Homo-oligomer: A and B are copies of this chain.
Amino acid sequence: MTIREATAEDVPVIMELIHALAHYEKASHEVLATGEDIKHSLFTDHPTAFCHVADENGKVVGFALWFLNYSTWLGKPGIYLEDLFVLPEWRGKGFGKALMKKLAMIALERGYERFQWWVLDWNQPSIDFYKEIGAEAMDEWTVFRLSGKALQEFAKE
């Protein structure tokens, strides 16, 4: 098992993993991104996001896609994990944990103090896994989103 940085050649398999995760989250219809979008965002001089893949003998079986957030209290960036997914037939072998550990190591090496992500409340297997590795549920916070028509209307109001 190798955890490595994704390259532009991985874009097709990254797209497959993004679609597979959206399907798992019951939101397949919400994936509008194309391979070109992903390539343009991740594999340029100043990437907006970063990706590591779990590679088993040349086959990519999982991915972690992340970006840098920022804490004004710490005065430094942190890691925000946007997507973590391992193909169903490759679960239970430690790929997910190895991907998480890779990001935790990057955080530590760079002196970041926080590694964060969100999880869907019904996704108990993931919640159990995250608690097992020492993560804390920040139940006192709620995510708010302004998007689509509401965003347009508010901006133009």
Instruction: List residues of chain A with CB under 8 Å of any chain B CB.
Output: 18, 21-22, 27, 30-34, 37-38, 41, 46, 48-49, 65, 67-77, 80, 82-83, 100-101, 104-105, 107-108, 113-122, 127, 130, 133-148, 150-157
CB-CB nearest in chain B for A116: B145
**What's the dominant secondary structure at chain A's contact region?**
mixed
- Kindly list 13 other residue pairs between chains A and B, CB separation below 8 angstroms, not including A32-B74, A135-B144: A33-B75, A34-B75, A65-B72, A67-B69, A69-B69, A101-B157, A104-B155, A107-B151, A114-B147, A115-B151, A121-B139, A130-B146, A137-B143
Contact B157 A143, beta carbon cutoff 8 Å: no
Contact A67 B70, beta carbon cutoff 8 Å: yes
What B residues does A18 contact at CB under 8 A?
A: 72-73
* Interface-centre pick from A75, A76, A77, A108 (highest chain B CB count, 10 A): A75
